[in-house]
């Protein structure tokens, strides 16, 4: 059978030619996507496609022929088109590509341009090209209204402009398959970096802590280091131009020294007003809104964990909420949180504030009677992560990262997500959706998911409490001041 360039392979070539080559020539060496995430996205895409088929535009009409998932091919190209509408009199076809997305993206133009290329080279005349996405302004009120949920965008002009380059790139992709790519770290994907499977296959012994971990290092500087054969962060030359924060990170990696600006940390903590609330949300987003008052892809809160320290030295107390699939999860969660926080907001500590603040702003719009509460919460929110992202606390084992999954194991190795039934946010999101929506899960399985979700979210806020206690205890440790020619910093004695 003739091997043809498929649409999936073509799009893979545009993202990363070496991975595309590996995908086609040595597919057994390509690792499969995360089963849970892959299945969730696939099921979401299927749900969107099925709902799109109910649109009035795609019902039988006189003089038109409709096809779904229709294949087209030439001698060396193959594409399957989501929806094809043919004028029976002229034979002209219109192409519709359905995307589980909130807007038309550049990659969608590449997708449908390839489809048009295959159709036209196969002898068909293509009239219009459309991309179907969700309408980001749509808010679910009662049953889903497909005619309002979806937006159909005419991208014909963009496709016509893209078509010549699509034809050239398709030829280049086919020609590329006849070569054997020479492995080079300089060919890393801007998106995947050293996680590129082609690079990992040919460079299996890369160091764990690399120049890709240097915070905010510009691409041209990274490539300059790679051109000199420098991959490990400990091999960065002392005279290589870096910012003060980047240099502090590199020096910490080289020396193995913990670098702490104790006074700056103490100053921040002293500005926090009690009670201290440590807050974390778990959210769910889906192309088709599953609950009342929710928009497509809106991060809908279904769970929170809240640890509160009422006064200095007081024992933390815990409150939480987890929806079991009620008709209005965010409303019930919002009311529970307001009650748990009480009248005195004090300081709300979160990890990566833009996420929680955005959720609060969304709930203020959804529930006008709670708008004052959520606005007050936002006004009193402090990002605990900034102690680490601002490089006030640099530890070699953070590897330049400031996520709680990187910081917690270093500061509190006794606390771990590894022992939990659910250990990350993506798994939490998908598991909750399955527990509240899937009828194939029995009561015991559903309850286990809910129990695992409670433990996971609780650890997120308990981790912040533990990190806060670690930071407040710094003044009791043996701290030695060290000064460089660039800026002062503190070294924690071993």
DSSP labels, 446-463: HHHHHHHHHHHHHHHHHH
Query: What residue ranges do the domains of the chain occupy?
Result: 5-176, 265-479
CB 72 within 8 A of CB 79: yes
Binning pLDDT at 50, 70 and 90, where does residue 3 land? confident
Chain centre to alpha carbon of residue 473: 34
Q: How many CB atoms lie within 10 A of CB 275?
A: 17
pLDDT of residue 2 exceeding 60, the answer is no
pLDDT of residue 478 exceeding 50, the answer is no
Of 126, 105, 107, 111, the residue nearest 79 (C-alpha): 111
User: Hey, which of 186-195, 320-329, 344-353, 398-407 has the most confident mean pLDDT?
Assistant: 344-353
Element counts in the chain: helices (H) and strands (E): 17, 15
Chain centre to alpha carbon of residue 492: 34
Of 128, 127, 61, the residue nearest 90 (C-alpha): 127
347-350 vs 276-284, strand pairing mode = parallel
User: Comparing 5-176 with 265-479, is the CATH topology the same?
Assistant: no
Phi, psi (deg, nearest 5) at residue 378: -65, -40
Task: Kindly indicate whether the domain formed by 5-176 is annotated with CATH number 3.90.320.10.
Answer: yes
Q: What is the pLDDT of residues 315-349, one digit of tens each?
A: 999 999 999 987 789 999 999 999 999 988 999 99
Helix axis angle for 106-121 and 156-176, nearest 10°, is 80
Instruction: Indicate the pTM of the whole model.
Output: 0.87
pLDDT of residue 250 exceeding 50, the answer is yes
- For 162, the enclosing helix (H) or strand (E) is helix 156-176
CB 189 within 8 A of CB 19: yes
Binning pLDDT at 50, 70 and 90, where does residue 485 land? very low
- Look up residue 428 and give its two tokens: 């939490």
- Which residues have C-beta within 8 Å of that of residue 439, sequence separation ≥ 6? none
Q: How many CB atoms lie within 10 A of CB 86?
A: 19
Report the topology of domain 265-479.
Nucleotidyltransferase; domain 5 (3.30.420)
pLDDT of residue 351 exceeding 90, the answer is yes
Q: How far apart are the first and last CA of the chain?
A: 66
- 52 vs 203: which has the higher pLDDT: 52
pLDDT of residue 484 exceeding 70, the answer is no
Binning pLDDT at 50, 70 and 90, where does residue 479 land? very low
Mean pLDDT on 74-85: 97
Please state, for a pLDDT cut of 70, what percent of the chain lies above it: 95
Of 240, 186, 226, 207, the residue nearest 396 (C-alpha): 207
pLDDT of residue 403 exceeding 70, the answer is yes
Q: How many CB atoms lie within 10 A of CB 145?
A: 11
Of 227-236, 244-253, 267-276, 434-443, the one with minimum mean pLDDT is 244-253
């Amino acid at each position: 059978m003739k091997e043809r360039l498929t649409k999936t392979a073509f799009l893979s070539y545009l993202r990363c030619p070496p991975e595309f080559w590996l995908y086609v020539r040595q597919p057994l060496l390509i690792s499969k996507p995360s089963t849970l995430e892959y299945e969730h996205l696939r099921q979401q895409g299927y749900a969107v496609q099925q709902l799109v088929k109910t649109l009035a535009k795609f019902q039988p009409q006189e003089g038109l022929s409709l096809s779904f998932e229709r294949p087209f091919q030439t001698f060396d190209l193959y594409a399957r088109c989501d929806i094809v509408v043919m004028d029976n009199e002229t034979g002209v076809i219109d192409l519709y590509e359905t995307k589980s997305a909130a807007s038309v993206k550049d990659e969608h133009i590449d997708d449908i341009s390839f489809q048009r290329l295959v159709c036209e080279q196969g002898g068909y005349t293509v009239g219009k090209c459309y991309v179907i996405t969700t309408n980001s302004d749509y808010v679910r009120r009662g049953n889903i209204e497909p005619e309002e949920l979806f937006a159909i965008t005419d991208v014909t002009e963009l496709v016509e402009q893209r078509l010549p380059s699509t034809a050239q790139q398709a030829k280049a992709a086919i020609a590329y398959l006849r070569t054997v790519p020479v492995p080079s770290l300089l060919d890393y994907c801007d998106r995947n970096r050293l996680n590129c499977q082609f690079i990992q296959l040919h460079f299996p012994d890369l160091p764990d802590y690399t120049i890709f971990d240097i915070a905010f290092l510009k691409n041209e500087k990274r490539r300059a280091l790679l051109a000199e054969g420098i991959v490990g962060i400990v091999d960065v030359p002392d005279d290589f131009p870096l910012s003060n924060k980047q240099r502090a990170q590199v020096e910490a990696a080289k020396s193995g020294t913990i670098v702490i600006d104790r006074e700056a940390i103490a100053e921040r903590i002293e500005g926090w007003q009690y009670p201290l609330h440590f807050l974390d949300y778990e959210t769910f987003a889906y192309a088709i809104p599953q609950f009342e008052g929710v928009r497509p892809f809106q991060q809908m809160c279904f769970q929170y964990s809240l640890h509160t320290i009422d006064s200095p030295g007081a024992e933390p107390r815990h409150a939480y909420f987890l929806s079991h699939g009620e008709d209005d999860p965010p409303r019930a969660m919002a009311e529970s949180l307001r009650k748990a926080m009480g009248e005195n907001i004090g300081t709300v500590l979160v990890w990566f504030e833009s996420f929680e603040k955005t959720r609060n702003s969304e709930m203020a719009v959804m529930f006008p009677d709670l708008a004052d509460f959520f606005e007050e919460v936002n006004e009193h929110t402090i990002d605990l992560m900034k102690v680490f992202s601002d490089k006030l606390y640099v530890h070699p084992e953070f590897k330049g990262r400031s996520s709680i999954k990187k910081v917690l194991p270093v500061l509190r190795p006794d606390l771990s997500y590894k022992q939990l039934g659910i250990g990350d946010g993506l798994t939490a999101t998908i598991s909750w959706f399955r527990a509240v929506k899937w009828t194939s899960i029995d009561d015991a399985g559903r309850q286990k998911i809910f129990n695992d979700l409670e433990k996971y979210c609780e650890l997120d806020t308990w981790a912040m409490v533990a990190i806060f206690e670690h930071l407040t205890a710094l003044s009791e440790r043996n701290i030695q001041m060290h000064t460089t020619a660039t800026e002062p910093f503190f070294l924690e004695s071993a």
